């Protein structure tokens, strides 16, 4: 694999993989989203959210390869448009959870959440965060040689590696959060409080995103 990466003009691949794993361990909006979905709706929902976030990373990779991320970094208007769209989406999710809470029995199981819907929620949460786009713009080119014959292909391969590696972190986190959520739901009214906590988390993330500024 390292030989193939070298042929593509990718440099320091082991360092890139290690950096990606460490960055995914660091708590952030994506990881918090996965934990919240898994705790409230079970392991399947958490894994679906994780896959959506990984797919979002591929979009940011394509944006870097095509130069869209550079435009986002140079244009405060483009940054603000993406930022406010993402904040509005997180606010919508948070308010819906706060308004849709209800009592559940002590023997309740985690409510079934459609994996497809949860996947797209994770996808949009990642894609509509301009900070992630700027992060990819800053990170990926550092591991591509200046004289690489096809920089776009090299960037794409790095993005795929980052997305796949992220699953080795966030899928186990989703499993743990889902198992803990199942235990909590054996306590009366736990689902109601989980939904409230998750709704409040999404609203907090929306505020945090709205206050972001391009570096």
Tens-level pLDDT at each residue, the chain (215 residues): 566 667 778 888 888 898 888 888 877 788 888 988 888 888 999 999 999 999 999 999 998 888 877 776 777 877 788 788 878 887 887 888 788 654 444 444 445 567 889 999 999 989 988 888 888 888 888 888 888 888 888 889 999 999 999 999 999 999 998 888 776 655 545 566 666 777 787 788 778 777 777 65
- Residue 173's pLDDT is 92
Is 180 within a domain?
yes
Long-range contacts, stretch 85-89, CB < 8 angstroms, 24+ apart: 85/128, 86/124, 86/125, 86/128, 86/129, 86/130, 86/206, 86/209, 87/206, 87/207, 87/209, 87/210, 88/206, 89/124, 89/125, 89/128, 89/206
- Residue 9, domain extent: 2-210
pLDDT at position 3 is 66
Q: Is 15 among the domain residues?
A: yes
For residue 10, the cross-strand partners are: 144
- Nearest C-alpha neighbor of 202 from the set 214, 190, 194: 194
Residue 213's φ and ψ, nearest 5 degrees, are -130, 145
Angle, helices 151-184/13-25, rounded to nearest 10 degrees: 30
Structural domains in the chain (count): 1
Instruction: Report the pLDDT value the prediction gives residue 1, as an integer from 0 to 100.
Output: 59
139 domain residue, yes or no: yes
Residue 215 included in any domain: no
The pLDDT assigned to 105 comes to 44
Q: Does some domain include residue 106?
A: yes
Place of tokens 């929306």: 206
Q: How far is CA 46 from CA 112, 115, 146, 174, 200, in A?
A: 12, 9, 39, 5, 18
Secondary-structure breakdown of the chain: helix, strand, coil percentages, each rounded to the nearest 5: 80, 0, 20
70 lies in a domain? yes
173: in domain: yes
Q: What's the confidence (pLDDT) of residue 70?
A: 77
Burial class (CB in 10 A: 0-12, 13-18, 19+), 176: middle
Reported pTM: 0.76
User: Does residue 103 sit within a domain?
Assistant: yes
Q: How many H-runs (helices) and E-runs (strands) does the chain carry?
A: 10, 0
Which tokens in the block code for residue 13? 């691949």
The three-state secondary structure class of 10 is: strand
Q: What is the pLDDT of residue 165?
A: 92
């Amino acid at each position: 694999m390292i030989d193939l990466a070298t042929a593509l003009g990718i440099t320091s691949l082991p360092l890139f993989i290690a950096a990606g794993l460490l960055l995914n361990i660091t708590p952030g909006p994506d990881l918090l989203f996965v934990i919240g979905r898994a705790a409230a709706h079970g392991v399947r929902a958490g894994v679906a959210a994780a896959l959506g976030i990984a797919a979002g990373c591929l979009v940011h990779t394509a944006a870097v390869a095509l130069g869209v991320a550079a435009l986002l970094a140079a244009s405060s208007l483009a940054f603000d448009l993406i930022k406010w769209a993402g904040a509005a989406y997180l606010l919508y999710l948070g308010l819906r959870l706060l308004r849709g809470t209800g009592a559940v029995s002590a023997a309740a199981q985690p409510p079934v959440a459609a994996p497809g819907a949860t996947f797209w929620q994770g996808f949009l949460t990642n894609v509509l965060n301009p900070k992630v786009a700027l992060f990819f713009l800053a990170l990926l080119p550092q591991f591509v040689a200046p004289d690489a014959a096809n920089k776009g292909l090299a960037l794409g391969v790095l993005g795929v590696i980052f997305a796949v590696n992220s699953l080795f972190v966030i899928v186990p986190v989703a499993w743990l959060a889902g198992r803990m959520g199942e235990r909590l739901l054996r306590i009366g009214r736990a689902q109601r409080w989980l939904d409230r906590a998750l709704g409040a988390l999404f609203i907090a993330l929306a505020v945090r995103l709205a206050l972001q500024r391009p570096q």
